[in-house]
Amino acid sequence: MSNVILEVNDLSTKYITRYEESVYAVDHVSLQVDETKSLGIAGESGCGKSTLALSLMGYYFPPLHYTNGEIIIDGRNISGMAPDDVRKSILGREIAYIPQAAMNALNPTRKIINFIEDVVQAHDMYVNKKEIYERARSLFETLGLPAEVLQKYPVELSGGMKQRTVIAISVILFPKVLIADEPSSALDVTSQKMVIKMLKQLLETGFISSLIFITHELPLLYNVTDDIMVMYAGQIVEKASAHDAVFDPLHPYARGLMGSIIVPEDGLRDVKLTAIPGVPPNLKDPPSGCRFAERCRYVRAECRGASVQLREVGRDRTYRCIIPEGELREIYEKEAEKYGR
Amino acid sequence: MVDKNNVILSTRGLTKVFGFGRTKTLAVDRVDLDIHKGEVVSIVGESGSGKTTLAKMLLGLLNPTEGEIYFQGQLRDIRSRKKKQEYWKNIQAIFQDPYSSYNTFQKIDSVLLDCIRMRGGSRLPKEQKIEMMTEACGFVNLKFEELTNKYPFELSGGQMQRLMIARIFLLKPKILVADEPTSMIDACSRATILDFLMQLRDEVGMTVMFITHDIGLAYYVSDNVHIMERGKFVESGTADQVILHPKDWCTQRLINDVPKIHEEWDLSTVEYPT
């Protein structure tokens, strides 16, 4: 029985716009991450992946507002805490977040060691600079970053090096959960591999207890994480193990995503990639029934009625569709025969 | 589709040096490239290997330090402004960042009208211009009626990049240089963009030069692939040849670095730079 590190029950958050309209970007999301495990979140742009990451930290600032649900990190409920308490005792220590353009977040006029001093001193004022330097140096060396980086300015580092430095800074206080939001999407493939190796190393050596990895690159998720959760329009539409999510997706949207995978393997040129037509719905006024109905190939009249609940199939596997599992599989099989794949 | 005897653009000993003295950098090193009419050719390499510098020289945005560029068999001459504009009717580009490719203050209708004007259609009747713009937007699955009177920032990244292709469809250049057109947009829109590039080749007969660091994308779209490393071509050949049977270790590394789903992705070979 493994230890649950992060548990989220029925979390909903919304954005309130200038015109007092509510945009429900995260809608009743429940998830669970065990110790030493990693969870991947997939979906196209505008599906609420990044908002979910922000919401998980429990630190809300306008226009993002908390609606309901609870976030439990290692047995401690953080959802009702005051923002200042969250910032001092949760962020960085319990949960750390690497935003999308993290490498551009470094102030060009300061050395890397200054950022580390800031992070450590914000949480523990009585550490002297020498101690911080020693701690940073040992962490950097474990993670394969040269110690000279500490004395450099951000402009002296390459993109991949900057990104790895930011990750190292964010884990200096050994947080339990690390949320990485597209940490490698601005890098080339070689630097991307280094970033991924570093994240895996952090998880293996126990610097962090669990990892949440957000990206739209499915081959990457498949190789990095244990479980994959597919999000669409603020909701979870499918959650399965990495293998099942890629090779045997049940939800039509998840299946559509798999149609856009491009890998340099034999046979890629024989299949025509399929993109899902249309765009995600506007969450100011989400459709009453299934949110994917407008773009779904297998849409039925019942789809547009009441909201669709998550269905459980087997162990640790859920999907959100009105069509039962057996029937869905039949449809997919027929289609595969027809198009020969 | 590929006309082996018809070389549309070629370079001989093309070199670009940035800086001088101690800080001298050799960005492109004596590159010989032949692009045939109607093919999709990919230049693949990691960042800093000189892909974009090469593209900029072909586009006439940078002057080569040494070497010649031949366009349709003749030495390219773009010394005067007029000749340059004439050259740009034949070669056009799509850049990486759709958000900064547009003029923020220019409406989309005007972006497309400029393309018609560039092809010498400024005196056409209004109805015909609208028809041309509708056709171009239809080519990339956009609705022209929905785009009129809008500014580029009102579109999503994928839509902007598709509009870029609509522009190319109107301009109908002989060569299109696509410099990492898909790296800023998400995986779902990526497939669409790549399919439109292939349609441009098949339906319009355009020659496409595709620049990327992701060898998977290059494999999906291209006929010929060149692998670039430190300003030089280290391996060239047809896509199947280069990617399924790589010979050079740079190619092998590029292929190993891309995450795969049917084969194991080996992380143990990664070495951090010191």
pLDDT at A134: 92
Residue A31 main-chain phi, psi, to 5 deg: -155, 170
Whole-angstrom Cα distance, residue B72 to residue A89? 67
Token pair of A193 as six digits: 């591999």
A274 lies within 8 A of chain B by CB? yes
pLDDT of residue B197: 87
Reply yes or no on whether the pLDDT at A179 is more than 90: yes
For A:170-189, CB contacts with B below 8 A are 187-189
User: What is the pLDDT, as a whole number, of residue B58?
Assistant: 92
**pLDDT surpassing 80 at residue A278:** no
pTM of the model: 0.86
Please give, rounded to a whole number of angstroms, the shortest distance from the CA of A124 to a CA of chain B.
Answer: 31
The answer on pLDDT for A338 being more than 80 is: no
- Residue A292 at interface with chain B, using a CB cutoff of 8 Å: no
The one-letter amino acid at B230: R
HEC sequence for B27-89: EEEEEEEEEEECCEEEEECCCCCCHHHHHHHHHCCCCCCEEEEEECCEECCCCCHHHHHHHHC
Q: Do A263 and B258 touch (CB under 8 A)?
A: yes
How would DSSP label each residue in A21-49?
A: -EEEEEEEEEEEEETT-EEEEE--TTSSH
Query: In chain B, whose CA is at the least distance from the CA of A164?
Result: B272
Model pLDDT, residue A269: 79
Better-scored residue on pLDDT, A339 or A12: A12
By C-alpha distance, the chain A residue nearest B265 is: A223
Residues 6+ apart with CB under 8 A from B189: A44, A275, B157, B158, B161, B162, B182
Residue B235: which of B14, B42, B68 has the closest Cα? B42
Q: Does A260 touch chain B (CB under 8 A)?
A: yes
User: For chain A, what are the domain ranges?
Assistant: 4-230, 249-339
| C-alpha pair distances (Å), B214 with each of A283, A328, B45, B181 | 33, 34, 8, 12
Q: How many CB atoms lie within 10 A of CB B70?
A: 15
Residue in the block written with tokens 């057996």: A326
Q: Which of the pair, A268 or B199, is modelled with greater confidence?
A: B199
Answer whether residue A29 shows pLDDT above 60.
yes
Shortest alpha-carbon distance between residue B99 and chain A (Å): 15
Q: What is the DSSP letter of A281?
A: P
Q: Which residues of B touch A259 (CB under 8 A)?
A: 191
Q: Which residue has the higher pLDDT, B99 or A278?
A: B99
Structure-token pair, residue B267: 């992380």
Q: Quick one: tokens of A83?
A: 């923002």
Residue whose C-alpha is closest to residue A229's, from A138, A317, A135: A317
Cα separation of A303 and A322, whole Å?
A: 7
Q: Which segments of A43-110 are extended strands (E)?
A: 64-73, 76-77, 95-98
Give the bridge partners for B94, in sequence order: B178
Exposure of A129 in the CB half-sphere (CA atoms within 13 A): 5
pLDDT in tens, chain B (274 residues): 566 678 899 999 999 999 888 888 899 999 999 999 989 999 998 888 889 999 999 999 999 999 999 998 889 988 899 999 889 989 999 988 888 889 999 999 999 999 999 888 889 999 999 999 999 998 888 888 888 888 988 888 888 888 999 999 998 899 999 998 888 787 778 888 888 888 888 888 899 999 998 888 899 888 999 999 989 999 999 999 998 899 998 898 888 888 888 888 888 777 777 6
CA distances from B259 to A126, A224, A243 (A): 44, 9, 14
Rounded average pLDDT over A181-201: 87
What pLDDT, on the 0 to 100 scale, is given for residue A93?
A: 86
- A111 Cβ under 8 Å from any chain B Cβ: no
CB contact under 8 A, A44 and B188: yes
Structure tokens at A236: 């979870």
3-state secondary structure B217-254: HHHHHCCEEEEEECCEEEEEEEHHHHHHCCCCHHHHHH
Task: Quote the pLDDT of residue B16.
Answer: 93
Q: Where are the alpha helices (DSSP H) in B89-237?
A: 108-118, 126-139, 144-147, 157-171, 187-199, 215-221
Chain A, nearest residue to B96 by Cα = A186
Output the pLDDT for position A100.
80
Please report, as a single letter, which amino acid is at residue A256. G
Query: Cα angle at A278 between A221 and A280, to 5 degrees?
Result: 60
Cβ-Cβ pairs closer than 8 A, A with B, add up to 118
Q: Residue B212 pairs with which residues in a beta bridge?
A: B44
CA distance A12 to A8: 10
**Which SS3 state, helix, strand or coil, does residue A194 take?**
helix
Structure tokens at B192: 């669409």
Q: String of b and e for B263-274 (b: at least 16 CB within 10 Å)? A: eebebeebeeee
A278 touches chain B (CB under 8 A): no
Q: Which of B270, B271, B274 to mutate to test the interface with A (most CBs of A within 10 A)?
A: B270
Does A270 contact chain B (CB < 8 Å)?
no
Instruction: Retrieve residue B249's tokens.
Output: 């270790």
Q: Based on the number of CB atoms within 10 Å of its own CB, is A181 exposed (0-12), middle (13-18) or buried (19 or more)? A: buried
Are A224 and A199 within 8 A, CB to CB?
yes
Interface touch B259/A262, C-beta < 8 Å: no
**What is the structure's pLDDT at A339?**
65
Is residue B217 within 8 Å of B211, Cβ to Cβ? Answer: no
Q: Give B195's contacts (C-beta < 8 A, 6+ positions apart).
A: A272, A273, A275
Any alpha helices (H) in chain A, and if so which ranges?
49-56, 83-85, 112-123, 129-142, 159-170, 189-205, 218-224, 242-247, 252-258, 325-339
A279-327: pLDDT as tens digits: 788 888 888 888 888 888 888 888 888 888 888 887 788 999 888 888 8
Can you identify the CATH homologous superfamily of domain A4-230?
P-loop containing nucleotide triphosphate hydrolases (3.40.50.300)
**Quick check: A202 and A177 in contact, CB under 8 A?**
no
A195 at the B interface (CB within 8 A)? no
pLDDT score of A228 = 93
Nearest one of B232, B240, B213, B206 to B9, comparing CA atoms: B206
Are B147 and B108 within 8 A, CB to CB? yes
pLDDT at A258 over 80: yes
A219: helix, coil or strand?
A: helix
Is residue B223 within 8 Å of residue B238, measured between CB atoms? yes
Distance from CA of A261 to the nearest CA of B (A): 8
The rounded distance, in Å, linking the Cα atoms of B38 and B190 is: 22
Task: Identify which of B195, B213, B214, B216 has the alpha carbon closest to the alpha carbon of residue B262.
Answer: B216
Residues of B with CB under 8 A from a CB of A: 46-47, 141, 156-158, 185-192, 194-195, 213-220, 239-240, 243-244, 253-255, 257-263, 265, 267, 270, 272-274
pLDDT at B201: 87
Query: Least CB-CB distance to B214: which of A144, A189, A194?
Result: A189
A146 touches chain B (CB under 8 A): yes
B274 CB-side CA count, 13 A: 2
- Candidate from B47, B186, B191 with C-beta closest to A273: B191
B13, containing H or E segment: strand B3-18
Put simply, whether A154 touches B (Cβ < 8 Å) is no
Q: How many angstroms separate the CA of residue B249 from the nearest CA in chain A?
A: 14
Residue A341 has pLDDT above 60, yes or no: no
**DSSP sequence for A288-340:** SS-TTGGG-TT--GGGGSSPPPPEE-STT-EE--SS-HHHHHHHHHHHHHHHT
* CATH tag for B1-90+207-260 (out of 3.40.50.1100, 3.40.50.720, 3.30.930.10, 3.40.50.300): 3.40.50.300
Q: Residue A109 pLDDT > 90, yes or no? A: yes
Q: Which residues of B touch A242 (CB under 8 A)?
A: none
Give the angle subtended at the CA of B255 by the CAs of B250 and B257, to the nearest 5°.
Answer: 95
Per-residue pLDDT of A31-80, as tens digits, reads 999 988 999 999 888 888 888 998 888 888 888 888 889 999 888 888 87
Q: What digits encode the pLDDT tens for the residues A2-22?
A: 788 999 999 999 899 888 888
Within 203-222 of A, beta carbons closer than 8 Å to B belong to: 216-220, 222
Triad A46, A51, A57: Cα angle to 5°: 165
